[in-house]
């Protein structure tokens, strides 16, 4: 591995980032210092994308781009603002000093050359805060920019399934909340919900279906039946006409998901994680969507970071966007993020956001 390939290991968000986490309930975005002045290395898709997010989520200033196409590229339109290309990558140190930049973002997708390594290392050793585009993008948006990363970026950030304080607390939280909801909500409401389902349409109370879980293992997911029993095992994506009247309300309030508390107590699911997909969809998306296999590195969840941000979605493009949230959760799985997702799930259930 060359020095330039080693550089992302040095530029960690904890040590070199110029922001503070915003721990509010409904946002994850860090609060960039309003006096932060950015220069972005690379004016292509990655550079323009991170520039947009910086302007959307902060009052920081973007001084310009460094790009080797400076002869043909004078400025870039970033959400209505004209941001100049102030130099090429060989003049990185001079540009940082000339414009008094406080932050540098590395947003290059092509192979990095030695002169770029030298410039980045000089910036790294100075007072300038250096960010890798995927790391800063993740902190600003709560999702991973899949178009800008490769296996070399993901693998060092994956956490081995070790038993530590964080994992123990997450497991305790899962079982404590699940037991509380099981005995305090599901069991008391089960007779009433079952009766309404029976009166609403003929068929069983529960809908069971094979889903893909941890490490690709299949398990039987349990839900309250919300569709006509005519569908049977032929569950497909577009079945809107088959949803019963009561089923519509159960889905809007997420009541149909309550029996999955049984899956959690059996150890097949977690309270929070990527939503479990059908075997058919997993087989379809694993070859079509990059990094899709990483969804199965943790247990699927009753709710999830992607779920509270996007709701139910259909199609490869939307699931690609959803995977950006799932991968963020997998790479940054903490007790605090678990709690925040649980609290936001209450809001989602009460408002019906993203219901099918």
For 292-301, the pLDDT digits (tens) are 999 999 999 9
Mean pLDDT of all residues in the chain?
84
DSSP state of 295: G
Does 6 have pLDDT greater than 60? no
Average of per-residue pLDDT across 219-239: 72
Does 15 have pLDDT greater than 50? no
Average of per-residue pLDDT across 324-351: 91
Q: How far separated are the first and last CA of the chain, in Å rounded? A: 47
Does 198 have pLDDT greater than 80? yes
Calculate the alpha carbon distances from 109 to 105, 135, 283 in Å. Answer: 12, 14, 29
Does 13 have pLDDT greater than 60? no
pLDDT of residue 315: 86
pLDDT of residue 215: 92
- Out of 120-129, 169-178, 210-219, 256-265, least confident range: 120-129
Average of per-residue pLDDT across 208-217: 95
- Out of 111-115, 188-192, 225-229, least confident range: 111-115
pLDDT of residue 338: 93
Q: How confident is the model at residue 329 (pLDDT cuts 50, 70, 90)?
A: very high
Domain locations along the chain: 3-157, 165-351
Supply the pTM of this predicted model.
0.85
pLDDT of residue 35: 78
In the chain, which ranges are E strands?
A: 19-20, 31-32, 37-41, 61-66, 75-78, 81-87, 103-106, 129-132, 206-212, 218-224, 270-272, 301-303
Q: How confident is the model at residue 2 (pLDDT cuts 50, 70, 90)?
A: very low
Does 26 have pLDDT greater than 90? no
Average of per-residue pLDDT across 176-183: 95
pLDDT of residue 4: 47
Q: In the chain, what are the helix, strand and coil shares in percent, each to the nearest 5? A: 50, 15, 35
One-character DSSP codes across 69-103: TTTT--EEEETTEEEEEEE-GGGHHHHHHHTT-SE
pLDDT of residue 157: 77
d(CA 330, CA 266): 21
pLDDT of residue 52: 95
User: Among 56, 58, 100, 97, which residue's Cα sits nearest to residue 78?
Assistant: 56
- Out of 46-55, 156-165, 184-193, 213-222, least confident range: 156-165
CATH superfamily, domain 3-157, is NAD(P)-binding Rossmann-like Domain (3.40.50.720)
d(CA 147, CA 290): 9
Q: How confident is the model at residue 83 (pLDDT cuts 50, 70, 90)?
A: very high
pLDDT of residue 150: 80
Average of per-residue pLDDT across 19-30: 45
pLDDT of residue 27: 46
Average of per-residue pLDDT across 147-165: 76
pLDDT of residue 167: 86
Q: How confident is the model at residue 151 (pLDDT cuts 50, 70, 90)?
A: confident
- Out of 17-26, 211-220, 276-285, least confident range: 17-26
Does 5 have pLDDT greater than 60? no
Does 219 have pLDDT greater than 60? yes
């Amino acid at each position: 591995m060359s020095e330039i390939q080693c550089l992302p290991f040095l530029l960690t968000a904890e040590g070199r980032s110029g922001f503070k986490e915003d721990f509010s309930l409904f946002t994850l975005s860090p609060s960039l210092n309003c006096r932060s002045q950015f220069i972005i290395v690379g004016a292509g898709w990655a550079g323009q994308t991170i520039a947009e997010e910086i302007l959307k989520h902060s009052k920081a200033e973007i001084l310009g781009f460094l790009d080797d196409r400076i002869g043909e590229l004078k400025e870039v339109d970033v959400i209505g603002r004209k941001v100049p290309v102030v130099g090429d990558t060989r003049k990185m140190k001079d540009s940082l000093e000339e414009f008094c930049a406080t932050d540098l973002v590395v947003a290059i997708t092509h192979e990095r050359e030695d002169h770029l390594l030298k410039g980045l290392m000089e910036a790294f050793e100075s007072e300038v805060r250096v960010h890798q585009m995927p790391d800063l993008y993740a902190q600003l948006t709560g999702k991973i920019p899949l178009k800008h990363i490769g296996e070399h970026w993901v693998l060092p950030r994956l956490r081995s399934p070790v038993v530590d304080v964080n994992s123990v607390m997450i497991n305790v939280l899962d079982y404590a909340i699940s037991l509380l909801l099981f005995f305090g909500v599901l069991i008391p409401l089960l007779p009433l919900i079952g009766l309404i389902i029976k009166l609403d349409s003929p068929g069983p109370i529960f809908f069971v279906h094979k889903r893909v879980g941890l490490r690709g293992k299949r398990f039987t997911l349990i839900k309250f039946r919300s569709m006509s029993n005519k569908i049977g095992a032929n569950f497909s994506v577009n079945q809107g006409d088959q949803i019963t009247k009561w089923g519509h309300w159960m889905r809007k309030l997420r009541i149909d998901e309550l029996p999955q508390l049984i899956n959690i107590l059996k150890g097949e699911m977690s309270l929070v994680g990527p939503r479990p997909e059908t075997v058919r969809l997993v087989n379809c998306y694993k070859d079509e969507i990059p990094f899709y296999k990483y969804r199965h590195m943790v247990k699927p969840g009753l709710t999830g970071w992607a779920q509270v941000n996007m709701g139910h979605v259909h199609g490869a493009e939307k699931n690609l966007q959803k995977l950006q949230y799932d991968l963020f959760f997998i790479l940054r799985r903490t007790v605090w993020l678990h709690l925040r997702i649980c609290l936001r799930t209450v809001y989602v259930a009460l408002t019906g956001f993203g219901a099918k």
